[in-house]
Structure 1
Amino acid sequence: MTTPVITLKKHDSLETAEHLFKANHIRHIPVVDGNAIIGMLSYTDLLRLSFADVALNDDDNMSDVMVYSMFNIEQVMNRNIVSVSSSNSIKEVAEILASKEFHALPVVDNNALTGIVTTTDLIKYLLLQF
């Protein structure tokens, strides 16, 4: 799993979220209230809102700013969260990711977000085994 976890709060702006995605080269950000996870935002969620051509990678795109001002993180985030604990086996995590077609799972221990495991994390682990 990846730690520490980059997180958002439900009152953060979608522009902040986009900046975090791009600056950290990530595709999933848990949304938290204190230490508790309340949602998950993916970069794909933002792309669905955007009418701009993402291939241009234009940070000053006014279309994005206008669209982002119409929505907030709480409206866009996924609230149906499936999480794992740090005691779950790699096989169990892989089975959840494969069967649910998720690409990231928050790791929650004692009702607090402690990490995130992604398909990339699993691939890196498998590569180390060879």
Structure 2
Amino acid sequence: MNVQDAMTNKVVSVKPETTVGEIAALLVNHRISAVPVVSEDNRIIGIVSQTDRGHRSETGTERKRKWWLAIFDDAEVQAREYLKSHGLRAGDVMTRHVITVTPTMGLSEVAETLDTHHIRQVPVVDDGKLVGMISRADLVRKLAEASITASAARPQNGQLQKAVWAAIKSQPWLNSAILSTSVLDGAVEIYGAVNSDAERQALRVLIENVPGVRRVENRVGILPRSAA
């Protein structure tokens, strides 16, 4: 599953000359946290987020540095902050370095990108042009859809038993010789022993992730340290 399977195609975007008041209304009315700024040929040139709108002179929330810190500030930095808090158009207040993803990127990479940069959503670009947006909410929606699909296509007991054992044997930290399972209508019971509680919990998660598993009864014990 990749970005084009989960992204929002109808994107709310603005032009560099869009006013900050209009941008604020778009963010509120569409319940979004950011809008991309695009050129006439739909190429992304910046983005305006709630963070960019969070420090404004109109609301008295612009950044106010202590005078002794301001002495050491670079003049260019101070000018940029003034532009952010007093600028009247998107072109003035937008963040010009925009993190983007492509339509063919995997969803795991998108999740990593959002976490790394501490952002809620990211523009999707194809050959430099804006084609969509993907957010944390989109990832959660695809997760829900995948769970529903997996439940609807639950395999037979024998097939599920084979899939569970294939998962167990794929992990080098598990000793399958002292484990056994029972499968019935998507419910899996695990018996045997492992070396630690971490292994016990990881084994449960491993089986929960096997497509078709509905419930896991973990009856696995923990070996004494001497036996381990």
User: How high is the TM-score relative to the length of structure 2?
Assistant: 0.47
SS at match of 1:9: coil
What is the distance in 2 between the residues matched to 1:76 and 1:104? Answer: 18
Query: Which residue among 90, 94, 101 is the counterpart of 1:77?
Result: 94
Aligned alpha-carbon RMSD (Å): 2.1
- CA distance in structure 1 between the partners assigned to 2:98 and 2:48 by the alignment: 11
Deviation at 1:47, TM superposition (A): 2.3
Equivalent residue for 1:39, pick from 12, 24, 46: 46
**Structure 1: gaps (5+ residues):** 54-67
Corresponding residue of 2:71: none
**May I ask how many residue pairs the two structures share in their alignment?**
116
Q: Which residue is equivalent to 2:202? A: none
Residue 22 (structure 1) aligns with:
28
Match of 1:103 among 120, 133, 144: 120
Bigger mean CA offset, 69-78 vs 115-124: 69-78
Quote the offset at 1:108 in angstroms.
0.3
Return the alpha-carbon distance in structure 1 between the equivalents of residues 96 and 116 of structure 2.
Answer: 19
> Per the alignment, do residues 69 and 99 of structure 1 end up closer, same or farther by CA in structure 2, a change over 3 Å counting?
closer
**Aligned counterparts of 2:16 and 2:141: Cα–Cα separation in 1:** 31
Instruction: Specify the code of the residue in structure 2 equivalent to 1:45.
Output: D
2:68 is the counterpart of 1:51: no
Query: What's the secondary structure of 1:31's corresponding residue?
Result: strand
Unpaired stretches in structure 2, ≥5 consecutive residues: 1-6, 62-83, 148-228
Deviation at 1:99, TM superposition (A): 1.5
1:87-125, Cα deviation, whole Å (9 max, x unpaired): 101111111111221221110012210001111211222
